[in-house]
Structure 1
Amino acid sequence: MDRKRKHLVRIGAGVAAGLGAVALVWTGVAANAEEPAADDFETKIVGGEPAEEGQYPSLVALGHAGAGTPFERQFCGGTVITETVVLTAAHCLEVVDSPDDLVVFSGSVDLDSEDLVETTVADFHLAHDYNEPVDLANDWGLILLDEPVDAEPIDVGTEPEEFDVLETAGWGNLGDDTYPSVAQRLEVPFVGDDDCEAAYGDEFDAQTMLCAGDLENGGIDSCDGDSGGPIMADKDGELILVGIVSWGHGCAEAGNPGVYAEVADFNGAIDDVLEDWS
């Protein structure tokens, strides 16, 4: 079975080589959305184009604590949903033994920027039903920070089928095994549940997952290192969070859309954890 798109988490310098973790991609499945024409999208290689400072104020990077630059230590993305809580993928957190081993980078889309702020972690939580009923179902987790981050919390959406086009951003593989210091951004079309199930069979769970990408041509997608980051939709001129970069087969391959954890399915569970942490 081809599980290549269950991307390996990008491990930076100074990190133990034994962390063979899965890092994935998120994309949106709109149950009834009409797929836009491929010409409507800038079909660049994986990673799209550089994000501008302030374009995604809720976007943060997850990194391993310890020696090395932020660029070397970054391995996943995340999204600020309260001033002290980051939403990310469970598969990003399952490689972390202790909150002391994890940090969050915020304040800039450039991991080499002098404006980047490193924040330590007080606690983290993996979804209790992660990997149920199938592998990578309920692929979400929360990070409680020791102090507020220099970021703007994003509103969490509930109806992804309302949107035809999604945006995703992160520091993942550009498609040629290179990684940018500046976050890349990309627009991708929804892929319906039926088409996603046709691509992935019983690996796809329509209740907890969404899909997005160019089914016919490929060429646009999230990739290794983008895991845990956001996929967003424009609602009345404001971006809202609809999913989390989770998994897929390969990167930007025709016929294999990106798969994303569907935030609308676990809003209530997130609220329960936030209440426990308050």
Structure 2
Amino acid sequence: MDMKRKQLVRLGAGVAAGLGAAAIAWAGVAANAQDNAADNDFEAQIIGGQPAEEGQYPWLVGLGSAGEGTPWERQFCGGSLIAHDVVLTAAHCVEGTEDASELVVFSGSVDLESDEIVETAVTDFHIAEDYNDPIAMANDWALLKLAEEVDQEPIPLNTDPAAEFEVLETAGWGNTGEEYPTVAEWVEVPFVSDADCEAAYPGEVDAASMLCAGDLENGGVDSCQGDSGGPIMADNEGLTLVGIVSWGYGCAEAGNPGVYGEVADFDDAIDEVLAGWSVE
């Protein structure tokens, strides 16, 4: 099985030319996912989730390519609004981008076909300087600076890298196993300890910048292709952002939890970038 970044390029959509090698064409990913499902007697299906309600995750945004096509056609990753004009997403979603003008952000509704969707240009972006260090997919985060403020509520970041959880929530417009929905789906996923995460993926997990979540024994709940960059959240008297959808083997397979960038491990680096942008 191959490591799968949970990113999507829709065939037939108006996709920006600059997305580069990080943007995995769905045709190839789908073939691998189907093979893995057959091997494990599992039908990959946000897998096991349900449609999000309007206002449930006001900070959830879609990252898309500028140009022609509907928001649904152009969306290829997710993201989280962490300030009214800043989005946190996955580094692998933008690593092939040559210019910020190639990117746009969709906000204002969980339905990418809604008239309430607002499209906002991206004027700058920052990819983690230590992305892919010390191992592949480590420090998988990037920041997008928006051309104007978005009238939605940002999500606060978890700042405790030692925190452990019971159940987390993740959301996005990725593959459900049957379709790519126009309305974002969400699902609860059990937290997986660093030890169990490393046991699931020997030599492939950087505990300092990654966390895992999923049902190790049964599978069935997970993020999937198209959800990359989106949030995984903990409910501590209100939702906080604990991670960024990053990678995994297949989707929702038993023994193969989803892997997420752990924001508490790089929140200081995020603050440094935000401080630099604020004085420009």
TM-score, normalization by structure 2: 0.87
SS class of match (2:203): helix
Residue number in structure 1 paired with 2:4: 5
CA distance in 2: counterparts of 1:21 and 1:156, whole angstroms: 26
Query: C-alpha separation between the residues in 1 aligned to 2:48 and 2:23?
Result: 19
Match of 1:155, SS state, is coil
Provide structure 1 residue ranges, at least 5 long, that are not aligned to the other structure.
24-43
Distance, in Å, in 2 between the alignment partners of 1:173 and 1:95 is: 22
Contact 1:103 1:120 in 2 (8 A): yes
SS at match of 1:264: helix
Give the match for residue 126 of structure 1: 127
Shift of the 196–240 alpha-carbon distance from structure 1 to 2, 3 Å rule, reads same
Q: What amino acid maps onto 2:150 in structure 1?
A: V
State the SS of the aligned residue for 1:110.
coil
SS of 1:150's partner is: coil
RMSD: 1.7
Deviation digits for residues 218-262 of structure 1 (CA, Å, limit 9, x no counterpart): 0100000000000000012x0000000000100000000000000
Structure 2 counterpart of 1:26 = none
Residue identity over aligned pairs, in percent, reads 65
Find out whether 1:74 has 2:75 as its counterpart.
Answer: yes
Partner of 2:260: 260
What secondary structure sits across from 1:246 in the alignment? strand
CA shift, 1:272, in A, is 0.3
**Deviation of 1:184 (Å):** 0.2
CA contact (8 A) 2:164 2:191 kept: no
Structure scoring higher RCO (CA < 8 A, sep ≥ 6) equals 1
Residue 5 of structure 1 aligns with an amino acid whose one-letter code is K
User: Is 1:105 the equivalent of 2:106?
Assistant: yes
State the Cα distance separating 1:97 from its structure 2 match: 1.8
Q: What displacement does 1:175 show? A: 1.9
Map 1:158-169; keep pairs closer than 5 Å: 158-159=159-160, 161-169=163-171
CA contact (8 A) 1:171 1:226 kept: yes
2:270 maps to amino acid: I
- 2:16 touches 2:65 (CA, 8 Å); kept in 1? no
The alpha-carbon deviation at position 4 of structure 1 amounts to 4.2
Structure 2 residue 240 is matched with structure 1 residue 249: no
Within the alignment, does 1:50 sit opposite 2:51 as a pair?
Answer: yes
1:155 Cα shift? Answer: 0.7
* 5+ long unaligned stretches in structure 2: 25-43
Distance 1:261 1:223 in 2: 15
> Does 2:266 align with 1:272?
no
Q: Residues 89 and 16 of structure 1: is their aligned pair in 2 closer, same or farther, counting only changes over 3 Å?
A: closer
Cα distance in 1 for partners of 2:15, 2:165 equals 39
The count of residues paired between Structure 1 and Structure 2 equals 255
**Residue number in structure 2 paired with 1:157:** 158
Structure 2 counterpart of 1:173: 175
> Alignment partner of 1:61: what SS?
strand
1:2-34: CA deviations, max 9, x gaps? Answer: 2243345233512268844257xxxxxxxxxxx
Report how far residue 162 of structure 1 moved.
3.7
Are residues 1:182 and 2:183 paired?
Answer: yes
Aligned mates of 1:8, 1:262 — CA distance in 2:
18
Contact 1:63–1:76 (CA under 8 A) maintained in structure 2:
yes
The aligned amino acid for 1:169 is A
In the TM superposition, structure 1's runs of 4+ consecutive aligned residues that sit over 6 Å from their partners are none
Tell me the alpha carbon deviations over residues 147-176 of structure 1, each in whole angstroms, 9 at most, x when there is no partner: 001321111012363421100000001123
